[in-house]
Every structure is written in structure tokens, then in C-alpha cells.
Amino acid sequence: MTAARGGGPLGGRPPANAAARGAVLVLIAVLIGALLLARGFDESDVASGDGTTDTTAPADGGDGDTTDTTATDGTGDDGEGDGTTDTTAPVVPALPPEEITVLVLNGSGVSGAAARVRDALLADNYNVLAPDNAERTPDTVIYHLPGWTPEAVSVATALDAPVDVVQPMPDPPPGDYGEAVVVVILGEDGAISIAG
């Protein structure tokens, strides 16, 4: 009986050709992997189950830590058209209410307004100092010390106040606010409804 043509054990191609084909397949796989890594995986590459492209991501990154990401217009930090995504620093969550010292001042001219706002904040477990009066002012403002922006927004949210009333404390501060890190000054505009 004669041996199968090609010298392989099953009559196929010689083993040297099989090794060459295997090397070519590995090279192709490496090239595909390199192309995918160079291109990167952005969120728009993830297809949803209905055949459309899903470009949304969970607001909290899926792990409970909220981050703010801003996509570029195709240019990276270096101005080159590399299409990278710049990621801003993580958004810091506000401290719990009991760790936020708030002072409420009445500049609205409505008697008892500061006490009503103080009571509402106490009900939400904020550490609220005794209310006081301020000069009459047309606009409500919620001042905060540097680094206390999330806490001031938390106070505004608790009071159903528009977030645009939150402002950094002027330097120098318009008054002596003791240990308060957030100061609510009620204005005549009625921006905080429970004050009226």
C-alpha cells in the first residue's frame, strides 16, 4: 500500500503548511486586536437589543459614584484629532444634612419667615443655627463657603428653592456668620415658598 500524497498522517497538507496557516491566523488576530485597541471602545459601539445603537450610560457610572464626563469634538487635550474623551473630576456628593451647619437670615420683611425655614431644615436633620434678621433684600440667596457647593445645593433642594440662588460666599463676607458653612438669606422675591 502506498502512503497518501503530501506526507501528512491523514493525507492532508504537510505539517509545515499547517504551522504557517496557524501563524497567519495568529497574526490576523493580533492585528484585529491592535486595531480595536487603537480605535478604542466608546459607548456608541454598544448595540441595544433592538438593533439600534445605545449611546447612553448610567448617570452614576453603574457603581453609585457620580461622574461628569464631557466628550470632545474629536480633538484631545493636545489639540490633535485623536477623538479621545476628556473626563472631569468626579462630582462630590453632599455631606449628610446633620453635618451641614446652616444659618437662616430674614431679609424678606415677612415676620417669622426665617423661623419657618429653620424649622423645615431641622425637620430634614440639618444643623441649623438660631435664625436672625438681615437687611431687607429683593433677592433670596444661598451663600456657601469654598468647597461647600454640593451642601448648598442640598439645602436649596430641601427648600424647593431654585438652584440659581446658590452662590459662593463673597470675599469679604457681608456679615459674621459664625460656624455656618451655608447661609440662607431670604429675600422679598419669595423664592422659598415656605418663608412666605
Please state whether the predicted TM-score (pTM) of the whole model is above 0.75. Answer: no
- Residue 82: its pLDDT value, please? 53
- Residue 28: its pLDDT value, please? 79
Low-confidence spans in the chain with pLDDT less than 50: 1-10, 13, 43-80
- Residue 3: its pLDDT value, please? 46
> Is 161 in contact with 193 (CB distance < 8 Å)?
no
C-alpha–C-alpha distance, residues 176 and 134, integer Å: 11
Domains of the chain: 97-195 (3.30.70.2390)
Sign of CA dihedral 97, 98, 101, 102: positive
**pLDDT, tens digit, 9 for 90 and up, residues 117-149:** 999 999 999 999 999 999 999 999 999 999 999
The residues that bridge with 145 in the sheet, in sequence order, are none
**Taking the chain, what is the end-to-end CA distance rounded to the nearest angstrom?**
108
Q: How many residues are given for the chain?
A: 196
C-alpha–C-alpha distance, residues 71 and 131, integer Å: 45
C-alpha–C-alpha distance, residues 183 and 171, integer Å: 14
The one-character DSSP state at 136 is -
- Residue 35: its pLDDT value, please? 67
Q: Is residue 33 classed as helix, strand or coil in its secondary structure?
A: helix
